[in-house]
Structure 1
């Protein structure tokens, strides 16, 4: 489980140097299949940047690695405007269990993990090992800035940070790629860009569909469709914006088991350009329309970004329609639109009555104020618990300090004055003033005014509890 808590790190973290954006990524972390949940494009990019940071900076005393969230965002070409999404991506890394699938037969005997028996022979070709991407992650505030500290599973930590065999991954190239398939394929092929042969190993189509998609337990698509809708566009983008050029080579025929490999070579001169911002336009647009990112990723994997964009256009027109029929489950509606427009061997079922039930519009300002009120109520509970834990003598001192304000208020009655004299602070009229005086002195005048990151962290914690 990931934890979200406010802590003060014991080790300072220097700003990320921008002089070298090359990550030495262990070969066993290249061809992975996410099992438990779908691993998003941005999540994989952020994981690469966190590895890059961990390889260049010392661990904290308890074995973790720390960085400002803004450095991770800049590392994969995004902006601080996306900071509210970082917690979600980091939680993905903790919750995502992946299977490592060796790229070559020679890799099967090279990885020695704590708790695993080494391969008996290099002849073992289909060996797979399972592990979480992160063991734990903590998000907190330091000096008014969002930071994260993360921990790698002990069994794979050394291979990740000091790999015996690695691929040279250019983070500036990663930043330019807009799909998970593109990022995963680039990382695999980058291993071979300086190889004399320049050829990846041969694998059957099922292998490639598993390691080049977000995963999450869904059934892999038919390779023909995967190739046309995801693989070929990813190859075209890699060839256009990165330092390598790749081309697919298919072997076999209808009578034989087909295999696929890629020819890879480094371009004579890499195109010099400033890394583009991560393309989160589709994600942000879908989020504004009420479609969860996990649902969007699944539909994009199946239909491709262009078709999903068409579906969003159709759904937006329906949302803006003035008729009484409104959309309750927008993820299901988008799926139905895509199924209708791009049928895949079946007749789509009509939307249920519940999905077509009129949707009550919520004013964003009302929703935001409700979140602020909930945060303040929770903050008041925290301050009360903090004050309750004080020694009795210290409580008396704070009650005496708040007494003039209480006694001079219009609400001062004989009963209130008696309670103040007896240092009985539990009454709501008295505790409100006492706790405000205490919290203002200890935490500053803005102790009950949440920042944007406070609200983000609070909403994440609330969602997890629900």
Structure 2
């Protein structure tokens, strides 16, 4: 039997000899891994991407092995992921080893029998010279199916690297399973079945997505849009209704005829060094990941540097809520991709007054979404939110409290405060501050609407002129 030193050296040498063809091999992902449901805690999109790369290496090494090894640098590179900060990487391996998941195929009756286990059985980092080797294994009840799948979906890790939300990653993986089927249709499942599958979070009665309209708006539609924009698939949502109520969902899938166009923004690696700096500054890890994916490493690095400089000034109060401070800096549009968009946006709205109109329209839409969300809740849930508002956000004195005591949230002044509280509770910080991209979309929409109005008026004038002719 090879000792640890010899085996690690063999892994490193063989990894270096991978040719170009092997690097772009498609991952054969077993159908039972496509719709996994976490039972204890949420699985992050970064952890799922790392898991995919590990699975590809394990499949190459063969099902007969007990443990699998690869250079940590190779695991990282496969998903645009690099860092020397192993402590942060360990958090993802811990998540894989401790989070129990139910393994299931999106198609009823397909694949192996029902099973539950962690994503991996163990993980170990072994130092070999100047390099780290990752060793891991799988639970016996799922190992055969994972490494020698009889039914699987073929997908590209390079394409997966372009997707930055859990819902878009999972939806792409599932749709890959059906892209080459004659029908091009995914399995039909109750919409509540899709909820934990697409969010990567255990299902809960307190989830913000208990109502289909909210789940569809905030999760499904955004995932469909992202997959259609950056992958080799084109998908459409199909809703199956009973009366006016949506009961089941499935998706129509087809491969794009043309090759993917390279996106304008270069795909950046998920940089754990930046995430590490954000965590050290006081940001939660999952929140740091989302900010990194949204704004890019350079913008987040710059924002953290600004905050750190602010913290070092002896004549200023320390930053009490680092996360809000960093988000505010990023939303200012001075860094990264947000900065580059401002010049484009200025071509659409030219004056400060026009910008203010767009911001007001944005807020009107947000208030309407919050109102719709509240109306879709059950009476009991509505009352719970009102009680929470009274306990946590209602001023202890003043006009708003007096008005609330007499009219409740039916009063316009109280209703405005209540829905702002609801938005702060269910949405991310900064939801009420539109980015330049969002304002740009609204500006284009407004101009298109105005053009349609002008066109209708022109047609009406022509008709009127025609009717007045002798």
Answer yes or no: is the 8 Å Cα contact 2:230–2:260 preserved in 1.
Answer: yes
Matching residue of 2:409? none
**Correspondence for 1:250:** 239
Structure 2 residue 29 is the aligned partner of structure 1 residue 29: no
- SS across alignment from 2:88: helix
1:292-342 CA-to-partner distances (Å, cap 9, x unmatched) read 214667x99xxx969xx99x989x88994888765567569999xxxxx98
Matches of residues 359-370 of structure 1 in structure 2 within 5 Å? none
- Aligned partner (choices 65, 69, 81) of residue 68 of structure 2: 65
Within the candidate set 205, 208, 214, 1:225 is matched to: 214
1:155 aligns with 2:155: no
Alpha-carbon distance change, 79 to 133 in structure 1, aligned in 2, over 3 angstroms: same
Task: Please tell me whether residue 111 in structure 1 is matched to residue 102 in structure 2.
Answer: no
Counterpart selection for 1:186 from 172, 179, 186: 172
Alignment of 1:292-303 (within 5 A): 292-294=284-286
How far did 1:140 drift?
A: 1.6
Query: CA offset at residue 230 of structure 1?
Result: 3.0
Q: Do the aligned residues in 1 keep the contact of 2:115 with 2:141 (CA within 8 Å)?
A: no
Superposed CA deviations along residues 18-46 of structure 1, whole A, max 9, x for unmatched, are: 41330111001000112222211111011
Distance 1:91 1:9 in 2: 26
Aligned to 1:56: 60
CA distance in 2, matches of 1:272, 1:332: 36
Q: Would the aligned equivalents of 1:37 and 1:217 in 2 still touch at CA under 8 Å?
A: no
The Cα offsets for residues 165-202 of structure 1, whole Å up to 9 and x where unpaired, read as: 10001111111111111111110111011011001111
Which residue does 1:44 correspond to in 2? 48
Secondary structure of 1:212's match? helix
Give the C-alpha shift of residue 106 in structure 1: 3.0
In the alignment, structure 1 residue 264 sits paired with structure 2 residue 256: no
CA distance in 1, matches of 2:40, 2:150: 28
> Partner residue of 2:152?
166
Q: Structure 1 residues 94, 257: CA separation in 2 closer, same or farther (over 3 Å shift)?
A: same
Looking at structure 2, the residues matched to 78 and 205 of structure 1 have their Cα atoms a distance apart, in angstroms, of 33
* CA RMSD, Structure 1 to Structure 2 (Å): 4.0
Q: Secondary structure at the match of 2:199?
A: coil
- Pairs within 5 Å for 1:297-316: none
- For the pair 1:145 / 2:131, whether they are aligned, the reply is yes
Is the Cα contact below 8 Å between 1:290 and 1:330 reproduced in 2? yes
Structure 1 residue runs of 5 or longer lacking an equivalent are 1-5, 113-127, 336-340, 352-466
Distance 1:105 1:67, change over 3 A: same
Q: How does 1:418-457 map to 2 (within 5 A)?
A: none
Deviation string 1:120-173 (CA, Å, 9 cap, x unpaired) is: xxxxxxxx5321110111112112101110000011101000011100011111
Alpha carbons of 1:232 and 1:83: their partners in 2 closer, same or farther (altered >3 Å)? farther
Q: Distance in 2 between matches of 1:169 and 1:55?
A: 14
Secondary structure of 1:10 counterpart: helix
- The answer on 1:8 being equivalent to 2:5 is yes
Maintained 8 Å contact 2:53/2:79: yes
| Structure 1 residues 329 and 98, CA gap change in structure 2 (3 angstroms) | farther
Residue 141 and residue 216 in structure 1: after superposition, are their counterparts in 2 closer, same or farther (change >3 A)? farther
**8 Å Cα contact 1:70-1:83 kept in structure 2:** no
Which deviates more, 75-84 or 167-176?
75-84
Q: Which stretch of the first structure deviates more once superposed, 37-46 or 256-265?
A: 256-265
Per the TM alignment, residue 237 of structure 1 is displaced from its structure 2 partner at its CA by 1.8
Greater Rg over alpha carbons, structure? 1
Structure 1 CA distance for aligned equivalents of residues 232 and 85 of structure 2: 27
- Match 1:291 to one of 283, 291, 300: 283
SS at match of 2:93: helix
Check if 1:349 corresponds to 2:392.
yes
Q: Which residue of 2 aligns with 1:91?
A: 94
Q: How far does the alpha carbon of each residue in 1:252-288 deviate from its partner, in whole angstroms, 9 at most, with x for none? A: 1554452111110011133265982345599567435
Point out where structure 2 has 5 or more consecutive residues left out of the alignment: 328-362, 375-384, 395-470
Structure 1 length as normaliser, TM-score?
0.58
Counterparts of 2:139 and 2:161, CA distance in 1: 26
Q: Give the aligned partner of residue 403 of structure 1.
A: none
State the alpha-carbon separation in 2 of the partners of residues 271 and 333 from structure 1. 37
